[in-house]
Amino acid sequence: MEISNSSINPSSIVNILTLRYDPSINPNLPKKTWKDFEPINEPPNLISIENSICNEIEKKLKPTNEQEISIALSGGIDSTLMVSLLRKTKPHVKINAVSIKFANSIDETPTASKIAEKYDADHHIIYLENYLSELPKAISIIKLPFWDLHWYYVVKKSQTLSKTLISGDGGDELFAGYTFRYKKFLSLTSENSSPHEKVKAYLECHERDRVPDQENIFNQKCQFSWNYIYSILLPFFDNDLSRLEQVYLADYNGKLLYNFNPINSRITDHFKMNQLAPLLNNELLTTATHIPTKYKYDVNNEIGKLPLRTILEKNNAASLITQEKLGFNVNTINLWKSHGHDLCNEFLDDSRIVKDGWINNDWIQKHIDNPDIDVKYVNKFLGILAFEIWYRLFITKEMSSNTTLD
């Protein structure tokens, strides 16, 4: 999002509150076209994939000769594979595995603890009673209005342990990890669906991001238009790829490029840490996108990341990982009940973004006190809360980054 002389790019607000990413951000990773996702009809070379990851770890860590390394460990496939191959590549290094335990949410830290123990890693668990408490500080660092910033807490802890933090970023986008999305997209489309129909179906598959009255969130300054949103996504679905390959293309050129990767980089840079995402090395960025669907996603059993699972099996770690994709995931409804609702009422009661014509107060009043509020609306409200805080930090400049939300 561009900030210039206290002005805002309206499209950025629309993008972030509709797509949860903003294509106007300058990405660190290369953009991909549909040609980059054309399948090569041969099975992936699993030895080459594993060697590529190990070589990236070795290449990035060798110059520093660090004896302690931190790793973000959720208990899922990607982070488990990273800690497994880090131990294989660096058998004598001290590994600090960092996990988050969210209040009133599914706790995956017991699984992460077993993984840490298997690979002789010290396990550090961050307990977050109020996930939103340091949101002003996190937003002041990334300079963007996002609320789901678990990476801030991971890096804040990791910088007390080492100078380098390893993550499993990229596994979902390169190896078909968003299985919950693929089944629904296939059910909503056919081979005869038009590009425009597939764009609409793709948006509908993002259940956390889409509410039926999305257009009513915005006031006149935002100039919301569905045709504008469709125009962002249309190139990913107007090509010769199969339907799932088109979804992979859209996923890669979405949150990975314009949310996860740049935000994580800004946070690690702020804490003066080296960030290492071995799955996003140049070789895999070039080759993994060409792996045919049948070799990375089992459509019948809805199992993704098949190459990474096989590598884990080879390294005797597959039995440790959680079966359902969760990652670092807070229970949003419980967060709303414990802190989110009260904070939104506090900040949006006298909202600067409402007063200045960005967000529609009627939409807020219609939904904010709904006792049976859907998680989709909770996500929207937390996004609007982040926008309000960002606005008070950077536009009206009335808020301190050290403000805590209790």
Quick: pLDDT tens for 294-331. Answer: 999 999 999 999 999 999 999 887 777 655 545 567 89
CA distance linking residue 358 with residue 13, whole number of Å: 9
At residue 208, what is the residue type?
R
Task: Return phi, psi of residue 3, to 5°.
Answer: -120, 120
- Looking at residue 64, its pLDDT comes to 83
Distance (Å, rounded) from C-alpha 202 to C-alpha 57?
35
Q: How far, in Å, CA of 383 to CA of 145, rounded?
A: 7
Query: Which amino acid is located at 239 in the chain?
Result: N
Kindly state whether residue 360 falls inside one of the protein's structural domains. no
Residue 256, domain member (yes or no): yes
Structure tokens of 136? 């002003």
Write down the pLDDT at residue 65.
Answer: 84
Tokens 């904010």 identify what position? 368
Q: Quote the crossing angle between the two packed helices 226-237 and 195-204, to the nearest 10°.
A: 110
340 in Cβ contact with 132 (< 8 Å): yes
Is residue 136 domain-resident? yes
Structure tokens belonging to residue 160: 């007390």
Q: Mind listing the pLDDT tens digit for each residue in 358-402?
A: 999 999 999 999 999 999 999 999 999 999 999 999 999 999 999
pLDDT of res. 326: 54
Q: Residue 338 is which amino acid?
A: S
Local structure of residue 39 (DSSP, 8 states): P
* Number of domains forming the structure of the chain: 1
Summarize the confidence of residues 276-288 as an average pLDDT: 97
Cα–Cα distance for residue pair 97/306, rounded to 1 Å: 24
d(CA 28, CA 403): 30
Give pLDDT, residue 323.
57
In a domain, 355, yes or no: no
Mean pLDDT of the chain: 94
Res 328: pLDDT: 62
Burial class for 210, CB neighbours closer than 10 Å (0-12, 13-18, 19+): middle
Structural domain contains residue 165 = yes
Residue 292 lies in a domain: yes
76-133: pLDDT as tens digits:
999 999 999 999 999 999 999 999 999 888 888 999 999 999 999 999 999 999 999 9
- Grade residue 4 by pLDDT with cuts at 50, 70 and 90: very low
The pLDDT tens digits of the residues spanning 43-85 come to 999 999 999 999 999 999 988 889 999 999 998 999 999 999 9
Boundaries of domain holding 292: 34-175+252-320
DSSP string, 126-170: EEES-TTTTHHHHHHHH-S-----HHHHHHHHHTTT-SEEE--TT
**Conformation bin of residue 206: beta by default, left when phi > 0, alpha when psi is -120 to 50:** beta
Joined tokens for residue 309: 């699972």
* Mean pLDDT on 21-44: 96
User: Is 204 a member of any domain?
Assistant: no
CATH of the domain at 262: 3.40.50.620
Q: Is the pLDDT of residue 210 over 90?
A: no
The stretch 151-173 carries a mean pLDDT of 97
- The answer to whether residue 179 scores a pLDDT higher than 50 is yes
- pTM here is 0.95
